[in-house]
A = this chain, B = another copy of it.
Amino acid sequence: MSDLKLPSFVSAQMVADRAGVSRSAVSRTFTDGASVSEATRRKVLEAADALGYHVNHLARGLRERSNIVCLVVADMTTPIRARMVDVLTRKLQASGKITMVINTETDTESVSAALRQTLNYRADATVVLSGTPPASLIETCLANGQQVILINRDERLQGSSNLGVDNAMAGREALFLLRRAGCERLGLITSNARTASLVERETVFVEAAAAKGVQVVVTEAGPTSYESGQEAARRVFGRSEAPDGVFCVTDLLALGFMDVARQDFGLTIPDDLCVVGFDDIEQAGWASYQLTTFRQPLNPMADEVVDLLLQPQRAVSERRMIEPIPVWRRSVRPGKR
């Protein structure tokens, strides 16, 4: 049997022993506004430093709020999602929270499992970036005093807060831009994900066009990705009546669409074809694309999330909407040809 002490975390008791004070004194030293004399405080800090003491937030979380926020997300490699996660973790951290990332598939089943994890770790709040959580589980979260914030998911679940961008505005504006450019045969490219957000952009665009007496050819490719955009372009330009202006419900789709349109069908953008996207991912601004699109204002959105979190828990479910910001680049002509 070895005498070597296994390395393990140092507790407040050890610090207390070394400093010659009670454990309470240690606790109070690390608690804001607690009453400790300057002398003991110094002794404690010194001992803590020598031993490498760190307050155990798990134990703290047993009594009060855990300061843990769970982020449920799928498709994390997508540029827009990656940025969302980045901005959110940053802002949450800045406001004293810590983020647990739960990486799921979009299907309800695995989102359920994610939500349960959230409960296991006593997260103060759960932020859902993708996937549709079942209403029953949301209720469980709320019943446990957990806050639920859904981002860009338009399922309206009783008790959860919703936060999203104004998709309708983007749909209308996209139509306006393409018509101003003189496009006559309009197309809409979407994925088979059929998220509420994507569907809304599509329907608003199509309906606004119908109101102007213009028909829109809708093409639905595979998942929301660059490759689906490519596939959509192959399908669209293989047909007789090719569009001269398209709204892709996502930048990734747009970029794949543009590449095939130019390289496989020899089209020039914006002369032969105008393209509008949505999200404003970094790649949309790259020299090869210069895509006109709508920026999701991630910083304001993350600010809203933090704001919701810091609010005293409200019984009523809230719904906040943020305007996307049009970003004019060169994939759409500024005026008629």
| Chain A contact residues, CB within 8 Å of chain B | 6-10, 52, 54-59, 61-62, 66, 71, 76-77, 79, 81-83, 85-86, 89-90, 93, 98-103, 116-117, 119-122, 140, 142-145, 226, 230, 255-256, 259-260, 263, 282-283, 286-289
Among residues of B, the one whose C-beta sits closest to the C-beta of A264 is B287
Report whether A103 and B89 are in contact in the complex, using a CB–CB cutoff of 8 Å: yes
Q: How far is the CB of A28 from chain B (nearest CB, A)?
A: 18
List 4 additional A-B contacts (Cβ < 8 Å) besides A77-B79, A226-B282.
A58-B58, A71-B101, A76-B86, A81-B82
Which of B6, B61, B100, B288 is close to A100, meaning CB atoms less than 8 Å apart?
Answer: B100
Partner of A144, one of B7, B79, B89, B288: B7
Decide: A8 near B98, CB < 8 A? Known: A57-B120, A287-B259.
Answer: no
B contact residues around A283 at 8 Å (CB): 283
Closest Cβ neighbor of A283 among chain B residues: B283
Set B83, B122, B230, B255: member contacting A9, Cβ < 8 A? B122
CB distance from A139 to the nearest CB of B (A): 8
Closest chain B CB from A55 CB (angstroms)? 6
Partner of A145, one of B6, B83, B93, B226: B6
A89 in contact with B62 given A98-B117, A120-B57 (CB within 8 Å) = no
Q: Give Cα A77–Cα B283 distance, bound, in whole angstroms.
A: 12
Closest Cβ neighbor of A9 among chain B residues: B144
* Chain B nearest CB, measured from A284 CB (Å): 12
Known: A58-B58, A122-B56. A99 touches B101 (CB 8 A): yes
